[in-house]
Structure 1
Amino acid sequence: MEYRTLGRSGCAVSRLCLGTMTFGAESDEKVSHAQLDRFAEAGGTLVDTADVYAAGESERIIGRWFADRPAELTDRIVLATKGRFAMAGDPNGLGLSARHLTRALDASLGRLGLDTVDLYQAHAWDPVTPLEETLLTLDGFVKAGKIRYYGFSNFTGWQLTKAVHLARKLRIAGPVTLQPQYSLLVREIEWEIVPAARDAGLGLLPWSPLGGGWLSGKYRRDQRPSGATRLGEDPGRGMEAWERRGTDRTWAIIDAVQRVAESREISMAEVALAWVTDRPAVASTILGARTVEQLETNLRAADLHLDEAETEALDAASDLHAPDYPYGVLGVDQRSRELG
């Protein structure tokens, strides 16, 4: 397992992160603990959860794992959680206000059975709460020793940049990470969000790097999913829904991933994970698995790096063909600067 820092912080983490959204929902406690054991055995150190995962049960499962394992093992784990969304019907029970975040973090620490969490993330932007209130609250958590670092999830480029510069103006602790959706299927963040993160020195923690399972090769063109898969059980599931994502571009990307996988005699999941993990500014890629077997497949990407020709082929297949302005050819020409 290779290691990188969380952005400009000095905290080192494994280049693959164990995501735990399945814990308590699609994976029972025994399977969840087995995933944590296998991840740690493989050298994995970053574990990511959130208060809303299985209505808090994911955090409780992780907390019981921490309590049941020796300190020599758990001390290596860099634990991340999130707060922002509603856990109850209280009108103040959601958002990034000082009131809600304070209660949310205390509740997360209680479920985890810990005094401190390494990385606390605002799960999404809050258009109601003043950003200054949110940042001062997060800085207060750092000063109180409740968290060591903080970051954001699902922020746009302008939201991220505004937060970074406001923290600097206030002379308080700034964010170290951003957790966006990112994969060969979802590259739009490269237009504004990735440049904003790189400019600020933030590390990216991509979620859904396999596009909800599409890039693992489990689905076939013109064959509606069925059986024990996420889309087989719910074809209309969120952003990865069959009708929404089953486009010509998606199938072209899947074909390109399959060609690389076959040439290397490895799984398609390994190829897709290696591609996103080596993108600029990525600190650690979040793996999501229902079973230990799925996790084993994903972990094989821990030390995998694609060569230049393979990367170029995948880049070409997944190109977004942006409109000429501001992200396409004319936009690039406007921003270019030739010297000589």
Structure 2
Amino acid sequence: MVKVSPGCSSATPNWADRKHAERIRDKIAASKMKGMWMGGVVPLGYRVDNRKLVIDETEAQTVRHLFARYLTLKSVQGLVDEVASDGLSTRSRQRKDGSIAVTMPFGRGNLYHLLSNPICIGKIRHKDQVYDGEHEAIVTSATFEAAQALLASQAPPRRRQSNVTQPHLLTGLIVDEAGEKLRSVHANKQGVRYRYYVSKQFVDRRRNGSEGWRLPARAVESTVEHRLNRILGDHAQLSDWIRQWADAGKIQSAMRRADEMRQCWASGTGDTKRSLLQKNRSQDHPQAGIIDHRTGSPLAIGVASRPEPATRR
């Protein structure tokens, strides 16, 4: 029998949660070593039958076509442009009400993932290890290896482990007027790195004249930091907001928390600031993030009105 002292009782549930999480991770790792697919988004080219991946021949033809065209074009962006002009799109699905979900065009991100995913040759990946899977392959190993060699030859060299000299502070937190998250990108010109937040459609179809948002990261982040410091230091405004979203009895503790956040922000690194933003974003409006000023929540920090559409350069 184990006795738990009062001072340790509060830590016991956390310890039990960690042990439970470790057991789940161990079970997943063991199952993947046996080649079992452990769920999640069903890969293109497959469907699920009795919790196992089975080849969907219609989608498999699309996957084989994408591999073949990539090896011919030798460019992921060229493949993006070609499949867009051909009208190819990712999997459509039927909702519970019978309607068909709108399909999305192939972009660089999902094509990179498709071309580098060993699941299409009958393998299962777990972290850095790859195991023989229970499912059948869609493409041959020779085709897949040729694609990996071409992808590796086109990858830019990493200058440091993180490959980021100035990380984007607001990655995943800025949305446009349609509620779509902006992507973090950068460009190098004469040895200087310029960082931006841009619309997804502008990244995926930039060669087809698509319009989108293209915001300079340094200016946006500076505005956000200034606005956040002003909000955290304005106790009267915070009190008004808290009365709208919580009990008045929580005002004092919220004020203390705001002061702690402000001090932590002032002395924190980029990683610390990014962690603070992620942890304290609005839980009631997760899609609004912290930048969409239309929500009116305490952490909705207005940056600017709608920017001008990005132009091709």
Task: Provide TM-score, normalisation by structure 1.
Answer: 0.24
Q: Which structure is richer in relative contact order (CA contacts within 8 A, separation 6 or more)?
A: 1
Larger Rg: 2
| TM-score normalised per structure 2 | 0.26
